[in-house]
């Protein structure tokens, strides 16, 4: 839950910067990014509540996720709509795999946490699917962004779980 909470903070930073830059680079995406941002704020609050329920502090990587999210959001926001969409697809693919693994572990152990995860998974899947639709047939940005963003997301999750 700590890693999920930190990751949602990073996602908020990504979408906040992308939304700001989208006014200039991809105005047709501003409302969609606001929608995603609303979800991510809600997810962070849910995971924060789970941490409080367990009397746990937030992840040590919380602020690093925010800084990384800000940088990634700025770079991809400046690159425009396809880069923004490719970033969301790459991150959500890794996050969804991680959350499905968590759900399998928690389903018979902590139903409250499992319910929280199911809610978040549904909205993260929506982000992924909408962004896939934005990419269209051209995969230039996906090929460029996917390896870097996927690897950094995997690394962030691993570090958050093991440090």
Q: Domain 2-162 is of which CATH architecture?
A: Up-down Bundle (1.20)
Each residue of 76-95: pLDDT tens digit? 999 999 999 999 999 999 99
pTM for the whole thing? 0.96
Cα dihedral 5, 18, 145, 3, rounded to 10, equals: 0
- Residues of the chain with pLDDT > 70, as a percent, come to 100
C-alpha 25, offset from chain centre: 21
**With left for phi above 0 and alpha for psi between -120 and 50, is residue 16 left, alpha or beta?**
alpha
Whole-number Å distance between alpha carbons of 112 and 135: 35
- Residues of the chain with pLDDT > 90, as a percent, come to 94
């Amino acid at each position: 839950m700590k890693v999920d909470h930190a990751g949602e903070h990073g996602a908020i930073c990504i979408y906040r910067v992308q939304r700001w830059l989208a006014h200039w680079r991809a105005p047709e995406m501003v409302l969609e990014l606001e929608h995603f941002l609303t979800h991510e704020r809600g997810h962070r609050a849910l995971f924060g509540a789970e941490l409080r329920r367990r009397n746990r502090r937030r992840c040590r990587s919380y602020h690093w996720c925010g800084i990384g999210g800000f940088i990634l959001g700025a770079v991809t926001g400046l690159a425009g709509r396809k880069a923004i969409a490719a970033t969301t697809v790459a991150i959500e693919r890794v996050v969804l795999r991680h959350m499905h693994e968590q759900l399998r572990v928690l389903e018979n152990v902590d139903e409250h946490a499992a319910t929280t995860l199911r809610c978040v998974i549904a909205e993260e899947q929506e982000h992924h699917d909408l962004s896939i639709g934005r990419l269209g047939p051209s995969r230039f940005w996906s090929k460029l962004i996917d390896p870097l963003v996927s690897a950094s997301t995997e690394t962030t999750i691993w570090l958050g779980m093991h440090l």
